[in-house]
Structure 1
Amino acid sequence: MNKNTIYAVVDIETTGTNLKSGDRMIQFGCVLVQKNQIINSFSFDINPGMAIPKVITELTGITNRQIRKAAYFEDVAATIYAILQDTVFVAHNINFDLPFINSELERVGYPALSIKGVDTVQLSQILLPTAPSFKLKDLSRYLNLTHENPHHADSDAHVTAELFIFLLTRLETIPRETLFEINRLSSFLLRNTNELFYDAYSDKNRRQERLPDHLYIVGGLVLQRRKQDTFNLTNYAYPEAEVDKKKIFEKQLSWRPEQAKMMDLISEHLKSSNRTLIIEAPTGIGKTLGYLIPAAYHAQNRKQIVISSATTILQTQLMNQALPLLNQLLPFQTSAVNLKGSNHYINLAAFKKELTQKETSGQIALMKIRILVWLTMTKTGELDELKLSSYQNPIFNQIEHQGVGSLVLTDQFFEVDFINTLYKQVESSEIIFTNHAFLMKHPGLFNSDRTKLAPELIVDEAQHLADVALQSNKGRIRFWKIINMCDSLLTSIQSSQKFSFNDLMAINFLTASENNQLLTEIRKLRESVELLIRQFSREYGRQISRNSAAKNETIGKVIILKSTELIRLINRNKIMLESVLKVITVLKRDDAILRDRYIAAKSQQNIGQDEQQLLNRVHNFFKQLFAETEGWTIFEQNQDKLNEKVLWLSFPINGQTDKMQFEFSLSDATHFLSEVIYRHFNHLTFTGATLLLPGNPDYIIDQLDIQDDNYKIEKLGSPFDYSNQAKLYVASDAFDVRSSKELYESYLADSVYEIIKSQRKQTLILFNSLDTIANVYGLLTKRGLHLDRELLVQGVTGRPGKLKKRFLLGKDAVLMGTGSFWEGVDLPNDRLELLIVTRLPFESPESLNVKAKEKEFEGQGRDVFSEYSLPRATMKLKQGFGRLIRTSTDKGAMIVLDNRLINQSYGKKMIEVLPDELQLINEPLADIIIDLKTFLSNSDS
């Protein structure tokens, strides 16, 4: 390929994807590109000689009528063959388009095209590594390319040509050194895509192109230069007067009185003697800027603010969207850092090591190439920027960061390491964005310099803080997994087929005495754990069987223990428990010795590939073993600490005791938040859309573990007109949720079907379990609903992240979900117009959480339902309703298929958390559907 190469950018539409079953082409589009310019284009319909399937017509809009008079493929084959001769074939998913065309050509007597080919999917993945999606429609939107008729060959070919030209231009910016590394891996790329990178490198090498100033090389990797932000030391006064606040918003944003009130409340609080401020800020008031603006003013003159969000996604939105907007609005600039757990960042040393490994996997090779390009772009090193739904590619297990403690001072990447650099920035940044989970694990990081005033803490989505605190204090000890790790170590050390420690002794890497001692310690650990399994089985085996039959205090094969029982358990088995801890300590020392010798031998080139692989395998087994035994420290805790914990023993469903495991967590967040977290901060500010329960102000105080009386609670008004924007329907003839599972699910399927068929609005259906979702979906498909509407089903058609993206892009789609879909999903305007709640969101009485609470409340005269289950379900219902109305122009309805909301006394308490002006209609479902159609049709006018 050279500058005069003509690229034929092709797209085809077909009756299906299976050539063997007789699928045929129905459209051909081709755009010729030369010297980064479009020089010609061709497109025509093709009569396939068969009916176009309905699903293809729905996807493409191409009808049987449209192609009835079009030429057959044998009539246009010569033209297609002539167009593509002496070109380089380019397509978005080339391994579909080119084989399909060749097969069609051969079918009518032409030879298959023997031309080079380039795939724009892989090219996009490499050159646009942070793009959210690599579908053609999504890429065109991402790059602002005009795409008039998706799934039409002429339009798709044209936008693919524009994409290809953009990618060729982008390729010219990739540094020579990065291209060199890419070419070492590019043989795995599809067709001749690798030649583009080889040609680009050859051209830059010939010109000896220098590296741009914003890039530099460390250890052979090309990285972005990172500038460390510092405090501005400005002193702008907070705009107290309304007229001054309006000046901030007048150029870009509308004025919101409740947002201004929130700003004033926080500004006053940060200067007051009050310790704690709690603000319920309903959706639509502009909560984010409501706390960011006063925080930015207060952060001047080295007054540091820590802002914690519920998730890393929300945290990233604060950094990448809210902060730039803040700096546009205010007369000064605010610096910030984004602090996440270490596994979110790349370890440069580990990645460099992976580059030196001989690659045999195309999937991993492609990911390495993408990361090489991404490193020339990223300033944070956050793997999240690659926007992968999950890091299933094996390379991520090797390159994700293990934390500051894993860094080696003498390593060539130490000074430029992303986490090392980030932690240095923490001291000098005015605002630190983090998430609740990170806050729970590293509270002291934000107040490491005791000579300075403690930072301020603002907690967004504070309703999640207690749950995250409990989650971060969970632990697990899988006895069977420890035994498996011991067996893996023993096998690797003494009887590995290819290489064992006997070979290491032969080269004097370790002595026979050291080898025997290591084997003895591993066997001792294995025997101790086996003894504990037998001991616990004797103590609790009968209780498991008895309680399983009686369904008392068990969920499947689980026993919940009170702290007093746990203390007795520890005392009875103290010698064996301590023995395990001692052995683990010795094995950690042995592993460290082996690693030190390995590093020294490798640097002196005294160790071969087989020895390296063996030692790496053994070290990885040790890492897994130590991870499995981390929770063992629970057996060392004093009685006061144990009194705050709940512990349960669990077995597999068949009750096999050899699969026994311990799990434990805090029983609640009391004293943990106040004593472990809050003590590192000056003022505490909590905000969220769903914090307060009417008539129960103590609920949020208990949840947030506020231990003093120096607090203030504020509830801001909603900007929405719920009397006109929303309706709440409760089906008076709803099926009794206590009925048989099969009859109940049949009712849900019938009701959902009737509601969905009555209108074509974007619909979210909320369930309480994935099992019910799957069963109802199965019944709906039997009725053919999936043929008429796009059904997005959690646990069936995709994961939550993927389903949310598809729902946002959907047209009259139906999303069936649970868990995270009850909250935190922003679906404004016509992205959500109908919300169906299948069942009030109570946790099952048999759930582990409820059973643990029952155990905790035992003997205290406290009621689990009123103190735990009802408040949590009420909050969840409030959060679910919050998905519906997100802007002042939204209009939507919520249907509840659970008449306990009306018929039970607690239902009235649940209704109280919904807006007072919300119109409630309690009628049979048939009448609801009639009223719903009128209400939603008015939203179209």
Structure 2
Amino acid sequence: MENRYVVIDLETTGHSPVNDDKIIEAGIVVIENDQIIETKSSFFNPNKSIPPFITNLTGINNEDVKDAPFFHDKADEIISLFKDSYLVAHNVPFDLGFLNAELRNSGKNALNNPIIDTVELSRILFPQSPSYKLSQLAEFLDIYHDDPHRALSDAYVTAKILLKLKEKLFSLPYETLDTLLKLENRFKSDLTSLLSNRLKELAFSTEEDANVEVFQGLAFKKTESIAQPSSTDIQSFGDFLDVIYEENGTLQQNMNYYEKRMGQREMSEAVFDSFQGKKHALIEAETGTGKSLAYLIPAIHDSVKSKQRIIISTYTTQLQSQLLDEDIPLLEKIVPFPFQVALLKGKSHYISLEKFAHELQNGNKDNYDIILTKAMILVWLTETETGDIDEINLPASGYLFYKNVSTESEGVLDPYSPWFSKSYYQKAKRRAQQANIIITNHALLSTDIFNDNQFLPSYKKVIIDEAHHFEETAAHHYGLKLDYITIQYTLNQIGHSHENNKLLGKVIAPYALQVENLMKQWDDILDSTKYEVEELFRTLYHYVLGMRRDMALSDIGRVQYRYEKEKEDYKTWNVITEMATRLTFYFKDLIHVISSLEQKFDQEEWLDKYDKEDLNGLKVLLQNFIDSLEILIISDIDIPQAKWIEIDTKGKNNAVYLYCEPTDISSLLAEQFFDEKESVILTSATLTMANSFSFMVERLGLSNKPYITQKITSPFSYRDQVQLLIPNDFPEINYRNMDDFILATSETILDLANITDGRMLVLFTSYDMLKKSYKILKEKMDIGQYMLIAQGITSGSRSRLKKNFQSFNQSILLGTSSFWEGVDIPGDDLSCLMIVRLPFQPPNHPVYEAKANYLKTKRKNPFMEYSLPNAVIRFKQGFGRLIRSSNDRGIVFVCDARVIKARYGKYFINSIPEVPITFDSTNELMEKAKKWF
């Protein structure tokens, strides 16, 4: 049996045999001795009509199956194929469920073969795959998939994946396989025989993998330490730039389709001048400048020559990946001397080998997701050089398990511990100490600034890319967040004393009888604490609902309410303050019980270091809740800040989130960052409003510092590549009745899509408007006319939605919030960008409201000083989605006539590249669009 695998894939009339859905096509591939020896394919007559959606997906129509056999005609033949073999499918529950339902309906016994689910096994053995959908997994494994959603093609690809999985499984070290075998009884796939036989083979093998290190039963990849580059003579910066940028320079020699960009060298010189003059700089580099190479080149030169490290901070992991995977490898070819680059993230990103090895010894009652997570991490450890959990896609509750095994959970690691030298975080810190360039993110940079420089190696020069997000990120990291779900989840994870699978129960289980009184005390206080949490957050929920003033809505549809000096105005708020104070006393009582336990255990010398770390970690968690309640509810802090509550009205009546952040962080940044650093370079494609940097200068606290500004214009010919169309006959935007505007927007989307064959990105400023437009489009569109993809409605991450958009010829992508920036869709995939409304924050948005009030106290105009510049920068980001190369061509359609009619509209127009603008009726604009294309 172990040498025979029968792979099956089915196409069906729907998702569930319980709903009388039927098989319409089966594809079967037989593997023996790791060779594909037979393939079979057959249509089946389902004796019912095939839904249009299924026909659209698979290409199978009613005519195809009209004369096909019924399933019961082929039942015996199918049963014989599976004799003495593994049954393999990509998502076994689906295929086996249908197969057995049809067999039972045919009067046959259900199959009970051992199974292999290639979805599950792929997650375990290829944890770094970006997706486990069949076509995307095949792409990741370099398997050609010629006919997706047809049974035989899908079965053939699944068979190829199975062979890759077996090859990968047999390449793993003994220790990894041994631990997988201990977890195997909780897998869906039957792997006992495969794992046992492979372990027997390895037991008698003398071969050792030189790339794998084994310690205390855990196998992980050996990592190389950074070799310090030898000292070298560095030419002058001008000569250095000539070697790289000029004709037949190293950049031209190492880049396909190289185009010299004047702005790129101009930006490199601006960065160099700032470093030399010990000045800060704001550099706006428009799309197409090639800004990441432009700032990396002077940074590398300066760092190697001065022997000083330079920090580069990004907002998105996408840009970090681009720097590490594309730009740095290119620079290693074009820079004529060696240099070192390191990535450094916060401790929570790195796995602790010691904690993970300890957790593998526990977990008899772990659920399936945690077992799967452990298996994925086991395999990943044999591959990863960084230990950065962002490299893999864990199941949802796997991230909750991971929190317990991250470096952040291990406390202060003893330098004399044998695990210290193996710690991924310590290795990342050592690499950073030795590197010329350290790449990090705004979050860690902000945490480092406000925590006495504890997290990054010392530095004097820093380049902040995507700098339009820096002030906002710094404010978030100086602020606080507390929510019901986090508190209750934490208390549930700590658990009662008798719950041996929870944090406290695991520690005290061996000594429960000796601390019975303390445990009774703990359980009583825990129950009271959980009750008080319920009551507090339920009261907050109803308090927000009861407010009569207009509420703001967040991007994800939560109601937002800003609270300020509530105690003076509302009797209920005094009740809430008393409840929060009472809750802090319960948290203090829980901490007191843990401290008493620690004293008792210390006297008897019962606990090992892991248990002590766990108990101390619990106290830290509980103390954090006390501190947060003090700041967010109980005490009044006399600094300008925004405090707000968000409630999810579609969730439970305790789905409440509390936030606070400073309304003005500029003075903090000025004192703790810009005063401390020699040179800070702030760069982005969007730093100016109408060619002025003044908004960013004020916002970041640079007003009284020596700084330079420079604007690098795009090399693209926007006048020839873009048409900006604005309708003059759209319904007026009315906050109380948006229906007419939404209907007009939806009809225009379809009219434009008919001209551009889809290939549209539509940017909304509110999720509510996006949902309503999606519903109208679904009703008005012909089935199968366009692939309609909508953020928050179509499942998948932002990058997955973008890939889906690019995969279909005629697709329309509706996006909000994060889709306004960082989404690159070059070439013919995107021909039309629609901006539904100018991206102003609603005036009752909590942070806007607090900042507006603060600006009024300074006798400033909140609209001109804050609201308008933010909207203009957002608009520029959205506009920048269309043209990503010199060959791109398309239309930007702005539905909001305020960009022309309003007095402030000129700020939007004057902030984007100069393009032809047409302000006319919708019909005339459609004719213009037809001619343009």
Q: TM-score range by the shorter chain?
A: 0.7 to 0.9
Residue of structure 2 in register with 1:420 after alignment: 426
Alpha-carbon separation, structure 1, partners of 2:508 and 2:14:
59
Instruction: Tell me the residue number matched to 1:125.
Output: 123
Give the Å deviation of 1:90. Answer: 2.1
- 1:344 maps to 349
* 1:594 and 2:590 correspond: no
**SS of structure 1 residue aligned to 2:666:** coil
Q: Tell me, yes or no, if the aligned pair for 1:176 and 1:201 is still in contact at 8 Å.
A: yes
Structure 1 distance, partners of 2:662, 2:404, is 32
Distance in 2, matches of 1:528 and 1:54, equals 50
Residue 268 of structure 1 corresponds to 272
The answer to which of 378-387 and 641-650 deviates more is 641-650
Q: Which residue of 1 aligns with 2:853?
A: 855
Work out the CA distance in 1 between the residues paired with 2:210 and 2:241.
46
Which residue in 1 is equivalent to 2:672? 676
- Evaluate the alpha carbon distance shift between residue 11 and residue 701 of structure 1 in structure 2; reply closer, same or farther with a 3 A threshold: same
Please tell me whether residue 295 in structure 1 is matched to residue 314 in structure 2.
no
Q: Using the alignment, how far apart are the partners of 1:404 and 1:692 within structure 2?
A: 44
CA drift of 1:441 comes to 0.4
How many pairs align?
911
* AA matched with 1:769: S
Q: Is 2:773 aligned against 1:776?
A: yes
Question: 2:733: which partner in 1?
Answer: 737
Shift of 1:377: 0.9
Amino acid at match of 1:814: I
Q: Which residue of 2 aligns with 1:625?
A: 622
Q: Over residues 192-224 of structure 1, what are the superposed CA-to-partner deviations in whole Å (9 max), with x where a residue is unaligned?
A: 24432233223222x245541211122321111
Q: Is the 8 A contact 1:477 1:629 kept in 2?
A: no
Which stretch of structure 1 is more off in the superposition, 628-637 or 231-240?
628-637
User: Which of 347, 354, 357 does residue 359 from structure 2 map onto?
Assistant: 354
TM-aligned CA deviation for residue 6 of structure 1 = 2.4
2:162 alignment counterpart: 164
Equivalent residue, structure 2, for 1:33: 31
Q: Distance in 2 between matches of 1:660 and 1:160?
A: 44
Distance of 1:487 and 1:145 partners within structure 2: 44
Specify the code of the residue in structure 2 equivalent to 1:700: M
Structure 1 residue aligned with 2:872, among 871, 874, 884? 874
Secondary structure of 2:904's partner? helix
Q: Which has the higher mean CA deviation after the structures are superposed, 225-234 or 362-371?
A: 225-234
Distance, in Å, in 1 between the alignment partners of 2:453 and 2:460 is: 7
Q: Secondary structure at the match of 2:444?
A: helix
Q: Which amino acid aligns with 2:892?
A: M
Go from structure 1 to structure 2 and tell me whether the alpha carbon gap of 1:479 and 1:86 turns closer, same or farther (over 3 Å shift).
closer
Paired position in structure 2 for 1:306: 311
Q: How does 1:649-664 map to 2 (within 5 A)?
A: 663-664=659-660
The whole-number CA distance in structure 1 between the counterparts of 2:317 and 2:460 is: 21
The runs of 5 or more residues in structure 2 that have no matched partner are: 553-557, 570-575
Mapped to 1, the partners of 2:155 and 2:495 lie a distance apart of: 59
1:233-248 paired onto structure 2 within 5 Å: 233-235=230-232, 236-237=234-235, 238=237, 239-240=239-240, 242=242, 244-246=244-246, 247-248=249-250
Task: Kindly provide the CA deviation profile for residues 345-394 of structure 1, in whole angstroms up to 9, marking residues without a partner as x.
Answer: 22333322332220442222122111110111111111111134856654
TM-score w.r.t. the length of structure 2 is 0.85
1:152-184 per-residue CA deviation (whole Å, 9 max, x = no partner) reads: 223222222222222211112100111000001
Q: Is the 8 A contact 1:768 1:819 kept in 2?
A: yes
Could you tell me how far apart the structure 2 residues matched to 1:597 and 1:411 are? 26
Per the alignment, residue 375 of structure 2 pairs with 369
Secondary structure of the corresponding residue to residue 747 of structure 1: helix
Mean Cα displacement is larger for which, 271-280 or 397-406? Answer: 397-406
Structure 1 residue 885, shift from structure 2 partner = 0.9
Determine the C-alpha separation between the residues in 2 that align with 1:149 and 1:604. 59
Secondary structure of the equivalent of 2:419? coil
- In the TM superposition, residue 581 of structure 1 has moved relative to its aligned partner by 9.3
What is the distance in 1 between the residues matched to 2:506 and 2:374? 31
**Aligned position for 2:327:** 322
CA distance in 2 between partners of 1:184 and 1:501 (Å): 23
| Deviation at residue 421 of structure 1 after TM alignment | 2.4
1:225 equivalenced with 2:229 (yes/no): no
Read off the aligned partner of 2:28 and give its amino acid letter: C
Which deviations, in whole Å up to 9, do the C-alpha atoms of 1:870-922 show, x marking residues without a partner? 11111111100111111122222111111111111111111111111x11111
The answer to whether residue 548 in structure 2 is matched with residue 548 in structure 1 is yes
Aligned-residue offset at 1:504? 10
Cα–Cα, structure 1 residues 453 and 520, in superposed 2: closer, same or farther, change >3 Å?
Answer: closer
Q: How large is the RMSD of aligned CA atoms in angstroms?
A: 4.8
Which residue number corresponds to residue 765 of structure 1? 762
Match of 1:152 among 136, 150, 153: 150
Q: Which residue of 2 aligns with 1:139?
A: 137
SS in 1 for 2:130: coil
The counterpart of 1:201, out of the listed 193, 199, 202, is 199
Deviations 1:1-44 (A, max 9, x none): 44xx1222332333333334444433333333233233333334
**Aligned-residue offset at 1:127:** 1.1
Correspondence list, 1:765-844, <5 A: 765-784=762-781, 788-798=785-795, 800-801=797-798, 802-844=800-842
Secondary structure of 1:8's aligned partner: strand
2:572 match? none
Describe the superposition over 1:414-454 as per-residue Cα deviations: whole angstroms up to 9, x where unpaired: 3322222222322111111110011000138997799x984
* Distance change in 2, residues 1:390/1:926 (3 Å): farther
Q: CA deviation at 1:133?
A: 0.7
Deviations 1:569-606 (A, max 9, x none): xxxx9999999999988975764563475588685699
Distance 1:600 1:83, change over 3 A: farther
Task: For residue 729 of structure 1, give the secondary structure of its aligned residue in structure 2.
Answer: strand
In the aligned structure 2, how far is the partner of 1:24 from the partner of 1:578?
Answer: 60
Structure 1: how far apart are the matches of 2:533 and 2:28?
Answer: 71
Deviates further, 828-837 or 628-637: 628-637
In structure 2, do the counterparts of structure 1 residues 38 and 931 end up closer, same or farther at CA, with 3 Å as the change threshold?
A: same
Tell me how far 1:478 sits from its aligned partner.
7.2
Please name the residue that 1:252 is paired with.
254
User: What SS is found at the alignment partner of 2:39?
Assistant: strand
Q: Structure 1 residues 386, 482: closer, same or farther in 2, change over 3 A? A: closer
Cα distance in 2 between the residues matched to 1:158 and 1:387: 25
Equivalent residues in 2 for 1:442-457, closer than 5 Å: 442-443=448-449, 454-457=459-462
Partner-residue secondary structure (3-state), 1:280: strand
Q: After the TM superposition, which of the residue ranges 618-627 and 710-719 deviates more from structure 2?
A: 618-627
User: CA offsets per residue over residues 601-638 of structure 1, 9 Å max, x none?
Assistant: 6856999xxxx9xx999877645432222336759999
Give the superposition deviation at 1:479: 11
Could you tell me which of 4, 9, 12 is aligned with 1:11?
9
Identify the residue that residue 713 of structure 2 maps to in structure 1: 717
Structure 1 counterpart of 2:555: none
Which sits farther off after the overlay, 457-466 or 681-690?
Answer: 681-690
CA distance in 2, matches of 1:694, 1:484: 48
Describe the SS at the equivalent of 1:278: strand
Task: Tell whether the 8 Å contact from 2:788 to 2:811 is kept in structure 1 after alignment.
Answer: yes
Residue 435 of structure 1 aligns with an amino acid whose one-letter code is: N
Per-residue deviation at 1:50? Answer: 4.4
Q: Quickly say closer, same or farther: Cα 1:896–1:177, change in 2 above 3 A.
A: same
CA contact (8 A) 1:343 1:402 kept: yes
1:931 maps to a residue whose letter is: K
Q: CA separation of 1:519/1:123 partners in 2, compared to 1, >3 Å: closer, same or farther?
A: closer
Aligned ranges for residues 25-104 of structure 1 at < 5 Å?
A: 25-68=23-66, 70-104=68-102
> Deviation at 1:258?
3.3
2:670 maps to 1:665: no
Between 231-240 and 125-134, report the one with greater CA deviation: 231-240
Displacement, 1:821? 0.8
- Residue identity opposite 1:832 in structure 2: L
Q: Which runs of 5+ in 1 are unaligned?
A: 567-572, 937-941
1:9 aligned partner, one-letter code: V
- Please give the residue correspondences for 1:515-594 in structure 2 after superposition, counting only pairs within 5 Å: 548=548, 558=561, 560-561=563-564, 591=594, 594=597
Bigger Cα displacement from structure 2, 803-812 vs 699-708: 803-812
Instruction: Quickly say closer, same or farther: Cα 1:522–1:598, change in 2 above 3 A.
Output: farther
Secondary structure class of the residue paired with 1:125? helix
